[in-house]
Structure 1
Amino acid sequence: MKLYSSTRAPNPRRVAMFLAEKGISGVELVDIDILAGAQNAPSFRAKNPLGRVPVLELDDGRLLTETRAICTYIEGLQPEPNLMGEGYEERAFIEMADRRAELHLFVSVTNWARHGHPALAVLEQPQFSAFGAAQGEKMRDVACWLDQTLAGQPYLAGARFTIADITAFCALEFARGLMKYRPGDEGLAHLQAYRDRIAARPSAAAPY
């Protein structure tokens, strides 16, 4: 398999961490320099007409896009360790936690970056700085809620590490890099400790 990735984007990191947690190696990484516009090349657009990474190219040539869909395929390919839930009830609650992390934390950080960081102007035209600033505040509101949640449980979906934690961690790391955001600096001790625990996992250092 090939993973079309970019070290400048957080979504490919989610897939790389998922693969690492599964113990799957040997996936070829193909770097797409999104700041240089490589995602707009006809050869890449033939793989994903929307021009986004990641893209997983299967051995038979089929192409999977969208991070969650790629992870669903990987979960089926390598069921253990389970990261998406055993049985419909656990799967539903893990998906809820993952969607919350994606739609309310990850997306807010991404919108802040695309609209608020000058280096990403090549990806987002026009940039709306007021929208970016508002998204940064929304991210902080969600971070406060996550801090309260993590005061009573070790992981987003409950007692064990799941895909939801990969999504939340990659969002926090993206914010850490571009926003210089540190939960501990804003009094969110539980969220900071959570981030630090996940950062210590080998998968957090997986290349992407």
Structure 2
Amino acid sequence: MSKRLILAASLALSLSACATAIPPVEVTRFHIGNPARSGTIAVEEMRGNPDVSLEFRTYAAAVAQEWQRVGFTPVSAGETSDYVASVAFRRSFRPSGVDRGSDRPVSVGVGGGINLSGKPKDIVTTELHVQLRRRADSTMIWEGRALTEAREGTPAAQPGLAAQKLSAALIEGYPGESGRTITVK
């Protein structure tokens, strides 16, 4: 009987590790020859961003934090920044498909997430787009996009975690290789 308990505990631990797995992020960046590496920065909504809400502020805050990590300073209230980082994000949902080969009520999805209903969870695609412009002449000096996918209901599909992961993957190693798409794990 105790062997069964140990086996059950081991299985539960391995499943919980799967549930917290963070999927990789696909990152593409473009920049001019030698973009700025320091200065004051303001993070703002990108024109045309469909959602200025609490969720948007989560993404904007994560982007601002990453710009600080690479050497930029947040602009003080009431002052004009040297640079403007425009931010937009989008979340979309698509069906993950039906597993007709199994009628089991419990399944473990790729990338984590335990599905007790037997019904496949949707895939949440989260995209982050950031443009860095020189305020003085509005010249875009850097631009990047990051994308990740996770099963609905998993931690990786939550906006806060997605915002942090996408921002870090996108801005880490700034400015990055221009025109190349990489995968960040």
TM norm structure 1: 0.25
Bigger Rg, which one? 2
Larger helix proportion of the pair: 1
Q: Which has the higher strand share?
A: 2
TM-score scaled to structure 2, two decimals?
0.27
